[in-house]
């Protein structure tokens, strides 16, 4: 019997059926080894299903996405077939129940985003918009007809979605949006949508665009499923925004609506005000919190490999120098902490115990830490950091965007500050 067991865990305290086996296995356990890729053993918190989902996603991303990303980033090109491939593997809308969706846990959904973002935040953004920002709200707020019409196609990546909240003049403050929906003056049962949305992921390739607009009759924000197939020419335009310096492997554009007729039955029936968009953003922000840990882990792995191979001063690998080791230690610590907190909040979310402030906290912290550490790890590559072939510069540029969209970090500070003090500092 080990010293630990004999001193601190008398046999009578162990459940009777477990006692003999538990004691034997404790006694035979050798000293655990530190795993720099999972420093705090987060894998131990995952179920078998979550581990299987994670492995499937990681394999697909490393084998199918990684070889494409460099050229896609250079060309600022997104291949919509990627969403088809993800659909075939069950990676889209994975936390939704029914309609062909996998119905896995929140944590498993986050592990998918982590695997995708390990390759590129742009690929993860395209997937998150499809899964959390369009399929999610349809599942949460849609009518039975809306669910039947869109979800079975979207889960396969055969119909692509976009989420239009941000406007040219209203980003952090979407409550002031100017896009409106008014009753069609002549066509009964239709609204006319007018306005402009900008910085919209997937908009140029989307078949169904979830547009948030103020209903003219009430002044309240409502969600509308704008189906491109039904829009008369000239009423919906979705020009791409080109020459981005981040998230270049995803496609971003505008949504321009000019008296676009949308049937009443394409409006979400119940949800009103900012609760609609913010509920969807909550799920997507959770995915970003675990996703950015994938990007950071990739930076750590690349920087470690580089530091072990690169030799300076008396033929020493630069990994031997303390300043370089501190950069790796800081980054590995933040990635490990960020992963654990995301698992904790994911568990609470599935138990109905997660608050929006918790999601704000982990989205803000993980995005900030991923960006800060990636910028520091970039230094390890010296001049080579400037070459896109080393990949680290791409992650740094992407991580700036993750810190900015879905609530810029300072806006999440204000959300947390309001919750802590009871005083709101937005205006
Ligand atoms: C590549 C990319 C993809 C995107 N995809 C989507 C998408 O699919 N759908 C969508 O709807 N949007 C999308 N966005 C938009 C994104 O969500 C917004 O850019 C973000 O919300 C910030 O809004 P803004 O750019 O208008 O900045 P602003 O709101 O103008 O903010 C500028 C700065 O001012 C700060 N600030 C603002 N108000 C305050 C305040 N009260 N106190 C202190 N500081 C403040 C902000 O924190 C920020 O640092 C995307 C953006 C990018 C870059």
DSSP secondary structure of 287-354: HHHHHHHHHHHHHHHHHHHHHHH-B-STT-BGGGSHHHHHHHHHHHHHHHHHHHHHHHHHHHHHTT--
Q: Is 129 in the pocket of ligand 1 (CB under 6 A)?
A: yes
- The residue nearest atom 24 of ligand 1, judged by CA position, is 171
Domain-located, residue 241? yes
Final residue of a structural domain among 266, 291, 324: 266
Same domain, 259 and 281: no
Structure tokens at 142: 């849609």
User: Which residue among the candidates 50, 76, 167, 406 is catalytic per the annotation?
Assistant: 406
Å from CA of 427 to ligand 1 middle? 16
Inform me whether the pLDDT recorded for 16 exceeds 80: no
- The residue nearest atom 48 of ligand 1, judged by CA position, is 408
Helix (H) or strand (E) holding 114: helix 106-119
What digits encode the pLDDT tens for the residues 44-74? 999 999 999 999 999 999 999 999 999 999 9
Same domain, 245 and 287: no
What digits encode the pLDDT tens for the residues 274-310? 999 998 889 999 999 999 999 999 999 999 999 999 9
Inform me whether the pLDDT recorded for 22 exceeds 60: no
Final residue of a structural domain among 266, 283, 318: 266
Same domain, 290 and 405: yes
The ligand 1 atom at the shortest distance from the C-alpha of residue 426 is 41
Picking from 79, 160, 163, the residue whose alpha carbon sits closest to that of residue 123 is 79
Q: Is 413 in the pocket of ligand 1 (CB under 6 A)?
A: no
Q: Is 174 in the pocket of ligand 1 (CB under 6 A)?
A: no
- The residue nearest atom 46 of ligand 1, judged by CA position, is 408
Mutate which of 166, 170, 283 to test ligand 1's pocket (most atoms within 8 Å of Cβ)?
Answer: 166
Final residue of a structural domain among 208, 237, 266: 266
pLDDT band (50, 70, 90) for residue 27: low
Mutate which of 121, 131, 134, 172 to test ligand 1's pocket (most atoms within 8 Å of Cβ)?
Answer: 172
The ligand 1 atom at the shortest distance from the C-alpha of residue 164 is 11
Q: Is 164 in the pocket of ligand 1 (CB under 6 A)?
A: yes
Domain-located, residue 103? no
- Work out the average pLDDT over 21-42: 77
Give the per-residue pLDDT at 140: 95
The ligand 1 atom at the shortest distance from the C-alpha of residue 407 is 21
Picking from 276, 244, 262, 287, the residue whose alpha carbon sits closest to that of residue 398 is 244
What is the pTM assigned to this prediction? 0.93
Question: Structurally, how many domains does the chain consist of?
Answer: 2
Range of the domain at 310: 275-421
- Residue 272 annotated among the catalytic residues of the structure: no
């Amino acid at each position: 019997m080990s010293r630990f067991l004999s001193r601190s865990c008398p046999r009578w305290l162990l459940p009777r059926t477990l006692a003999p086996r538990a004691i034997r296995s404790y006694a035979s356990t050798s000293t655990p080894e530190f795993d720099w890729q999972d420093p705090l053993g987060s894998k131990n918190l995952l179920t078998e299903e979550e581990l299987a989902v994670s492995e499937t996603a990681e394999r697909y991303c490393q084998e199918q996405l990684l070889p494409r990303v460099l050229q896609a980033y250079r060309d600022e090109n997104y291949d919509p077939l990627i969403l088809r491939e993800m659909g075939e593997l069950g990676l889209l809308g994975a936390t939704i129940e029914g309609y062909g969706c996998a119905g896995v846990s929140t944590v498993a959904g986050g592990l998918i985003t982590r695997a995708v973002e390990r390759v590129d935040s742009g690929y993860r953004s395209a997937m998150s918009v499809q899964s959390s920002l369009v399929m999610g709200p349809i599942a949460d707020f849609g009518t039975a007809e809306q669910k039947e019409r869109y979800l079975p196609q979207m889960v396969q990546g055969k119909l692509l979605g976009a989420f239009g909240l941000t406007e040219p003049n209203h980003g952090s403050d979407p409550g002031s949006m100017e896009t409106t929906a008014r009753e069609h003056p002549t066509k009964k049962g239709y609204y006319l949508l007018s306005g402009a949305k900008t910085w919209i992921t997937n908009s140029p390739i989307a078949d169904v665009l979830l547009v948030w607009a103020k209903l003219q009759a009430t002044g309240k924000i409502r969600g509308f499923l704008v189906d491109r197939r039904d829009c008369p020419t000239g009423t919906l335009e979705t020009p791409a925004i080109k020459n981005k310096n981040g998230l270049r492997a995803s496609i971003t554009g505008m949504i321009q609506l000019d008296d676009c007729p949308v049937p009443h039955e394409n409006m979400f029936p119940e949800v009103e005000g900012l609760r609609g968009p913010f509920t969807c953003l909550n799920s997507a922000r959770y995915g970003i919190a675990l996703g950015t840990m994938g990007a950071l882990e990739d930076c750590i792995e690349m920087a470690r490999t580089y530091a072990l191979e690169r030799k300076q001063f008396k033929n020493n690998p630069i990994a031997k120098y303390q300043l370089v080791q501190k950069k790796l230690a800081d980054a590995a610590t933040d990635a490990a902490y960020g992963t654990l907190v995301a698992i904790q909040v994911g568990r609470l979310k599935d138990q109905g115990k997660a608050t929006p402030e918790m999601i704000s906290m982990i989205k803000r912290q993980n995005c900030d830490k991923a960006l800060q550490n990636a910028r520091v790890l970039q230094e390890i590559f010296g001049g080579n950091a400037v070459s896109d072939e080393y990949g680290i510069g791409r992650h740094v540029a992407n991580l700036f965007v993750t810190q900015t969209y879905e609530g810029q970090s300072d806006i999440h500070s204000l959300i947390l500050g309001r919750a802590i003090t009871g005083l709101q500092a937005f205006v």
